[in-house]
Structure 1
């Protein structure tokens, strides 16, 4: 495992964690999580790398070891897509695969649907149609968590989310700015995603709507179910194994 830093398109310092050798697989984490929390802690990076991949894991801005600027000018629309594109340019990647979980999946779909990135293969984890076309509803939940952070009592539906943000040490000023950069995705644009795609989701995960419906809307998708909820599926080895097996089968 090696960690590097680079400056994104606007000079924001972002962390990148790299593991393994072989074909580049750019892997993106979920909202208010990090590469360490989603991929490294549970060994998914090792499972995937064992199939002959270099797993390249970005910490989004405001997450993990990356910077969390407070300047509103650092938060244009779809800023995370621009950060991933900046990383691809920084590394000089031409032939690579791309994947992500939750926010990472959503960012990947936006990037490919809008023609910003052209990976050979795509992995979408923990994401359904509602998390794309109705993102504004889920974003409103997190805005409430940030705005009412110290007022949310135990037993409130958002209490667990508040505790997760606290455990991750999320900068709430920067996080609030980031939430306003994430537009809904016109589901008609899914037709633009022509590469082979794995849609993988926990069997109890309904946080972002139907992942199976999303797979049916994509031109060339395979749907795989693994055990767990939205939060627990990333903690089980099945997720990393499903990704590794699918990628190996596509080579």
Structure 2
């Protein structure tokens, strides 16, 4: 595993974790998580790398080893899409695959549906139709977690989210700024996602709506269920195995 940094479009320094050799696969993690927490810790990156891929894992701004600026100017609309595009340009990626979990899946679909990125294949993990078209509702939930942080009582549905945020050491000021940069994706634009796509989701994961319905809106999608809830499925080996099996060995 190798870690390096690069400057995004606005000079913000972002972390990139790399492992393996071969065909490039760019992976994007979930909200308030990191490459380490989603892809490295549970072995998903390793199992995919063993198939003959170089797995390239970005830490979004405000996450992991990347910078968390507190300046409002560092948070233009769809800033994460712009960061991923900057990484693709930095690496001079042309023929590559792209995947993401939760926020990473959402960011990937935004980038592809709007013609910003053009991967050969796409993996969408832990995402459904509601996660694309009802962001204001989701953002309000996470803003409450940030604003009421230490005052959220045990038993409150937001308590676990608060504990996870705390465990990851996320800068709450920067995180709140980031939440306002994300926009809804018109579901009609999913027609632009024409490459082969794996939609993979936990069998108890309903956090972002129906993943099966999302797969039905994509022109060339395969839907696979793995065990677990939204937070639990990413910790289980079946997620990485499903991704590796669908990708197969590079030609």
TM-score under structure 1 length normalisation: 0.99
Q: How many Å apart are 1:156 and its aligned residue?
A: 1.1
Q: Is the 8 A contact 2:53 2:250 kept in 1?
A: no
C-alpha separation in 2, matches of 1:7 and 1:70 = 17
C-alpha separation in 1, matches of 2:191 and 2:250 = 21
Match of 2:162 in 1: 162
Q: Is the 8 A contact 2:20 2:52 kept in 1?
A: yes
Match of 1:147 in 2: 147
Match of 1:211 in 2: 211
* Number of positions where the alignment pairs a residue of Structure 1 with one of Structure 2: 251
Q: How many Å apart are 1:250 and its aligned residue?
A: 7.8
Q: How many Å apart are 1:188 and its aligned residue?
A: 0.4
Is 2:238 the counterpart of 1:238? Answer: yes
Match of 1:15 in 2: 15
Please list, as runs of the form range in 1=range in 2, the aligned pairs for 1:1-251 lying within 5 A after superposition.
1-248=1-248, 251=251
Which runs of 5 or more structure 1 residues have no equivalent in the other structure?
none
C-alpha separation in 2, matches of 1:238 and 1:155 = 29
TM-score under structure 2 length normalisation: 0.99
User: What's the RMSD between the two structures over aligned residues?
Assistant: 0.8
* Structure 1 residues 123-145: Cα deviation after superposition (integer angstroms, max 9, x where no partner): 00000000001111111100100
* CA spacing shift, 1:129–1:250, aligned 2, 3 Å: farther
Q: Is the 8 A contact 2:18 2:54 kept in 1?
A: yes
* Structure 1 residues 20-48: Cα deviation after superposition (integer angstroms, max 9, x where no partner): 00000000000000000001000100000
Which runs of 5 or more structure 2 residues have no equivalent in the other structure?
none
